[in-house]
Amino acid sequence: MMEFVESQKGKPILLKDGYRYRKVRINVDGSASWLCLVTFCGGRLRLQGETVLIVSEHNHAPDVSKNEALRSVVEMRRRAELGMEKPRQIIQECTNGISLEAAVHLPAYVASQRAIERRRRRARHPYVDPRSVGICTSPCLPIASPVEAMGELPVVLIQGIGDPDGIAEEHVPFLKKNFSLVTMKELTENRQHFREKIRAVYVWETKPVIDRELLQNLPNLKVIASAGAGVDHLALDLISSFGVKVTNTPLEVSNATADLAMTLLLASARNLQEAIQIAVSSDTQQFFSNWMADEVTGATLGIIGMGRVGLKVAQRAKAFEMKILYHNRNQRKEEDERAVGATYCAKMEDLLQQSDFVMLVVNLTPETCKLIGERELQLMKPTATLINISRGGVVDQDALVEALQNGVIKAAALDVTYPEPLPRAHPLLRMKNVIVTPHIGTATHNTCRLMMQNMTKSILAVLNGHRIPNEVTSN
């Protein structure tokens, strides 16, 4: 049990563990946890050898109960595990009548980064369990978290809250625990107040739009966290020129996107959209006894782009006993191919000619823009279906419309188009053999929650100078 041993006023107080003085580490980089848990009002912390000295300069602080102090310790541990912003000063938040403003003027410990980093590397344990720590019974104060002590959380720019372009309202409580949120409307209305405070941009559904003007008006911007795997909506070279980091969430989207891919494949094969219209139409008097559609069992699926999502699609297709072909920049490992029963096609043309269903699962880059055009569509079977879950720009839509109208291919199922949404009079929206969904590949409660949590971790990592999960570079 660790205890606090107090000497006379003005003399050092040592943290004593049994009969040995115990080295106590103070967190200033967000990755370590707070081991200096409780001190005295106005006390100054000072490192000396293996010990932390607490020099008591004031004895007028009100008592704080053990339970209150312990709650503060638990909260500090939670914030430390989240990796909150580096404290430049440790300021005790006073209770029972002493205001925060008064506490700001009390002495505070400012450690050299080098000294603390040296002690951090030598530390054996990441944190002390608060339940094992004795709370000082002398007049003391709970230590506020560093960001609370400085008066505000990191300021993050968002498009808005709620439809049509904002973040989901159910995500707001979690985000507000870690950030102070500023909407684009608030920034526009009070630019001078917010421009130097904003440290990160939270991009959801490609909003807010990141352009040169916005970057120039946010001089302290450090990171842009974007939901989803695709980053074609971000000018990476431009952003990098401002010294701003970019992160995305590729690992969180794979399952939901692959689920939708199979949904579109099955719905198109069974002509589900037209079937639903017949079932609900006020003109329907009886169902057709000769209604026919296609089976997927035994059919050939050609996957163009065998990354994380493509492999997940293949796993699902295998369960439907489909034959799987794939084309990728690089052939996958033999064990991956064997696990899903996939065969590599070095030439995309070979895949197009053999497949009953062609699935597009590639990122939109200059190389993949209009990857599927008139020539590629002509290579496909007249009974084939094109399914696009990547980006609308991967397909030449004019060529696709013509191919569908002329029977070059049988059908198409598209979760992505260009633009989004399509003009209401667009031919693709009027065809019975086309299914269009509103870019909902990642739109599940669980996936969106995971993306939000990942984006939060990424922002905090950048602001605390840690290794950045899923950093995206211009390369």
Residue 413 has a pLDDT of 99
Prediction pTM value: 0.68
Residue 82 has a pLDDT of 53
- Residue that is written with structure tokens 């029963």 in the block: 341
Residue 288 has a pLDDT of 80
- Under the banding of pLDDT at 50, 70 and 90, the label for residue 13 is very low
Tell whether the model's pLDDT for residue 21 goes beyond 60.
Answer: no
- What angle (nearest 5°) sits at the alpha carbon of residue 194, between those of residues 189 and 198? 130
Tell whether the model's pLDDT for residue 120 goes beyond 70.
Answer: no
Tell whether the model's pLDDT for residue 65 goes beyond 50.
Answer: no
Q: Which of 21-35, 223-237, 422-436 has the lowest mean pLDDT?
A: 21-35
In order, the DSSP letters of 267-301 are HHHTTHHHHHHHHH-TT--S--TT------TT-EE
- Under the banding of pLDDT at 50, 70 and 90, the label for residue 165 is confident
Domain assignment present for 131: no
Average of per-residue pLDDT across 447-459: 96
> Looking at the structure, do residues 344 and 333 belong to the same domain, yes or no?
yes
Domain assignment present for 161: yes
Tell whether the model's pLDDT for residue 180 goes beyond 70.
Answer: yes
- Under the banding of pLDDT at 50, 70 and 90, the label for residue 122 is low
> Looking at the structure, do residues 342 and 385 belong to the same domain, yes or no?
yes
Q: Which of 129-143, 251-265, 425-439 has the lowest mean pLDDT?
A: 129-143
E strands along 58-136, which residues? none
In angstroms, rounded to a whole number, what is the distance separating the alpha carbons of residues 421 and 440? 12
Domain assignment present for 366: yes
> Looking at the structure, do residues 302 and 190 belong to the same domain, yes or no?
no
- Under the banding of pLDDT at 50, 70 and 90, the label for residue 142 is very low
Tell whether the model's pLDDT for residue 269 goes beyond 70.
Answer: yes
- Under the banding of pLDDT at 50, 70 and 90, the label for residue 72 is low
> Looking at the structure, do residues 247 and 258 belong to the same domain, yes or no?
no
Residue 118 has a pLDDT of 52
Domain assignment present for 459: yes
Average of per-residue pLDDT across 9-23: 36
> Looking at the structure, do residues 418 and 452 belong to the same domain, yes or no?
no
Residue 473 has a pLDDT of 86
Tell whether the model's pLDDT for residue 14 goes beyond 50.
Answer: no
Residue 79 has a pLDDT of 52
Q: Are 298 and 424 in contact (CB under 8 A)?
A: no
> Looking at the structure, do residues 352 and 259 belong to the same domain, yes or no?
yes
Domain assignment present for 80: no
Tell whether the model's pLDDT for residue 18 goes beyond 90.
Answer: no
Domain assignment present for 455: yes
What is the extent of the structural domain holding 23? 1-56
| Exposed/middle/buried for residue 310 (C-beta within 10 Å: 0-12, 13-18, 19+) | buried
For 466, the token pair is: 């840690």
> Looking at the structure, do residues 411 and 428 belong to the same domain, yes or no?
yes
Strands 245-247, 223-226: pairing is parallel
Residue 207 has a pLDDT of 94
Active-site residues: which are they?
A: 391, 420, 439
Q: What percent of the chain has pLDDT over 70?
A: 68
Tell whether the model's pLDDT for residue 5 goes beyond 90.
Answer: no
**Last residue of one domain, picked from the residues 10, 38, 56:** 56
Average pLDDT, the chain: 77
Q: What is the CATH number of the domain that holds 218?
A: 3.40.50.720
> Looking at the structure, do residues 269 and 413 belong to the same domain, yes or no?
yes
> Looking at the structure, do residues 311 and 229 belong to the same domain, yes or no?
no
Tell whether the model's pLDDT for residue 123 goes beyond 90.
Answer: no
Residue 33 vs residue 443, higher pLDDT = 443
Dihedral of CA atoms 236, 240, 245, 251 in degrees, nearest 10, equals 30
Q: What percent of the chain has pLDDT over 90?
A: 64
> Looking at the structure, do residues 412 and 459 belong to the same domain, yes or no?
no
Average of per-residue pLDDT across 262-273: 97
In angstroms, rounded to a whole number, what is the distance separating the alpha carbons of residues 73 and 14? 19
For 241, the token pair is: 């020129």
Average of per-residue pLDDT across 71-95: 42
Domain assignment present for 34: yes
Domain assignment present for 74: no
Tell whether the model's pLDDT for residue 69 goes beyond 80.
Answer: no
3-class secondary-structure state, position 52: strand
Residue 101 has a pLDDT of 27
Residue type, 266: L
Domain count, the chain: 3
Tell whether the model's pLDDT for residue 272 goes beyond 90.
Answer: yes
Tell whether the model's pLDDT for residue 49 goes beyond 80.
Answer: no
Average of per-residue pLDDT across 385-409: 98
Q: Which of 156-165, 339-348, 399-408 has the lowest mean pLDDT?
A: 156-165
> Looking at the structure, do residues 354 and 258 belong to the same domain, yes or no?
yes
Tell whether the model's pLDDT for residue 186 goes beyond 70.
Answer: yes
**Last residue of one domain, picked from the residues 17, 39, 56:** 56
**230 to 156, 275, 365: CA distances (angstroms):** 21, 33, 10
- Under the banding of pLDDT at 50, 70 and 90, the label for residue 367 is very high
> Looking at the structure, do residues 222 and 324 belong to the same domain, yes or no?
no
Residue 36 has a pLDDT of 33
